[in-house]
Amino acid sequence: MNDRLPILDIWVDPVSREEALHRVRGFLAHGDRPHAIFAANPEKNFSVPTDATLYQCYREADLLLPDGIGVVLAARLLHGVRLQRLPGSEFIFDICRLAEAEGHAIFVYGAREEVNGRSVALLLERYPGLRIAGRANGYVSPEEMPWLIERINNSQAAILFLALGSPRQEKWFAAHKGALSTVRVVQGIGGTLDTIGGNVQRAPEFWCRHNLEWLYRLVKEPKRIKRQKVLPLFALLVLKQWLSMRIARVMGGSRGAGCDRS
């Protein structure tokens, strides 16, 4: 993507919800391969560069959503671009509405069997016209993977939701994208099925509206501190890069002014 923004060691696409959905519509209408949609957030800045397969997968992704508020603020500070946060856990519903309206079949792969089944039932209840052509829990063994790929292809699904968690879902896509014959859109949705199925409660609207969902989840699940401890470091690294850019501009301007005076 020519307009993709570098944020430290990862990237994000400067898209609104409408623009992101427009791209998905294009993938479905004109794509001839699976197109990957993943989330860009501060945690990914520290996990993606440490794994060559994961790094390549993100670098080649077709859509990197501005999932975390940290990435949104970094884009504003480093590039002067105002983004709105677009969590992957919300974008799945936009894709479902599009699929319902245009008749695209969906396959849901991941999570525990009871969570997967309950989430699919709730999606069908929410979108009565949605065509879910198949589903499978996330405990398919490597020996059974050819069988799963065959099921996905035979379902004629155009959209595949991967609820395997990161980095497992990205690595699954990297390993098997070439074997998917009818799928045109693949979204990594992490633990979203747990949210849909009610196992994990999303933050109330107030917290989401004020970009404090991360804090709500930390209060509800203190063990997340192991993951979220990278947030202050991410903020410091962004500030450091911003200061370096400012100093470079000032020094460049000073050199230019000196040349003019001579």
Query: How many angstroms separate the CA atoms of 163 and 47, rounded?
Result: 18
Kindly give the parts of the chain with pLDDT less than 70.
Answer: 1, 198-228, 253-262
pLDDT of 167 reads 95
Residue 216 to residues 43, 85, 87, 151, 213: CA-CA distances in angstroms? 17, 16, 15, 38, 5
Helix (H) or strand (E) holding 239: helix 230-261
Helix (H) or strand (E) holding 11: strand 10-12
pTM of the model: 0.87
**Residue 75: half-sphere exposure toward Cβ, Cα within 13 Å:** 26
pLDDT of 252 reads 77
Query: How many angstroms separate the CA atoms of 149 and 180, rounded?
Result: 7
pLDDT of 249 reads 86
Question: Considering the domain 5-197, what is its CATH architecture?
Answer: 3-Layer(aba) Sandwich (3.40)
pLDDT of 68 reads 86
CB-CB contact of 177 with 171 (8 Å): no
Closest C-alpha among 103, 132, 137 to residue 120: 132
* Amino acid code (one letter) for 116: N
pLDDT of 262 reads 44
Q: Is 163 helix (H, G, I), strand (E, B) or coil?
A: strand
Q: What is the DSSP string of 66-119?
A: E-SHHHHHHHHHHH--------HHHHHHHHHHHHHHHT-EEEEEES-HHHHHHH
Helix (H) or strand (E) holding 19: helix 17-30
Exposure string for 15-45, b = 16+ CB within 10 A, e = fewer? beeeebbebbbebbeeeeebbbbbbbbbbbb
pLDDT of 72 reads 96
Domain ranges of the chain: 5-197
Query: How many angstroms separate the CA atoms of 60 and 54, rounded?
Result: 10
